[in-house]
Amino acid sequence: MAENNIDGCIAVQARQTIDETEWLLEISDANPAVMGVIGWVPLCRTDLNASLDRLNENQKLVGVRHVIHDEKDNNFILRKDFNQGIRQLGPRNLVYDILIFEKHLPQTIQFVDQHPNLQFVVDHIAKPKICSARFDSTWAENILELSKRTNVACKLSGMVTEVIDSRWSPNLLKPYVDTVLEAFGPDRLIAGSDWPVCLLRAEYTRWHQTILSMTESLSEYEQSNILGQNACRIYNI
């Protein structure tokens, strides 16, 4: 991070275990550069509150995520028990990160509408199908609709691994970046890396430089917001 003039980051869960969340919090406690943790908790279980209360004693826990796109049920995000769990986050000042494929956007809009007072962040711009032959217009329509909910922000990340038919390039990704910039504006976009997954298609530095180049037309203030200030505000860091 230092060689790219990045002085802080937020660690995000990958495995759906309490053990990993505790491990990430330990890393954050030992390293000031890890300014927060988005962990996993058993949102559908009856012992959720006990887990949340214990983990939330550590102020580095800033949010929660569930890997929705790995669930076999495309309507998982609308399940009653899942939404009961989601309702426990707001009173604890925690953000919910939404990890989905583009096909889940219609259900996600319904989901978000059930929680108008909770802060959400859509990870990886909701993983559109990126290919050179055509622009994913269905994704664009749905992401624009979702963005009308002002309690939803969006993370600029994860795009390079969603290119399905060619090598990725900034020119290929630019229409997708332009779409979320139009939808969410520079005050609700957060630069992310998706490290280490991004390393499958791009070095960390190349991805960071790509974000810089695709936001260079913005003012210094707007670019600064995307590169860090929005994350600090949205995740209460």
Q: pLDDT-based confidence at 198, cuts 50/70/90? A: low
How far is residue 156 CA from its own chain's centroid? 8
Residue pLDDT, tens place only, 139-154: 999 999 999 999 999 9
**pTM of the complete model beyond 0.75:** yes
Task: Name the residue with higher pLDDT: 132 or 134.
Answer: 134
Residue ranges of the alpha helices (H) in the chain?
A: 18-30, 48-55, 80-86, 105-113, 137-146, 170-184, 204-214, 220-224, 230-234
Phi-psi sector, 111: left (phi>0), alpha (psi -120 to 50), beta: alpha
Q: What mean pLDDT do residues 132-145 have?
A: 93
DSSP classification of residue 225: I
Q: How many CB atoms lie within 10 A of CB 111?
A: 24
Q: Per-residue pLDDT tens for 35-93?
A: 999 999 999 999 999 999 999 999 999 999 999 999 999 999 999 999 999 999 999 99
Percent of the chain whose predicted confidence (pLDDT) is above 90:
78
To which CATH superfamily is domain 2-234 assigned? Metal-dependent hydrolases (3.20.20.140)
Q: What is the pLDDT of residue 199?
A: 65
CA–CA gap between residue 23 and residue 163 (Å, rounded): 32
pLDDT of residue 151: 99
Answer yes or no: is pLDDT of 218 > 80. yes
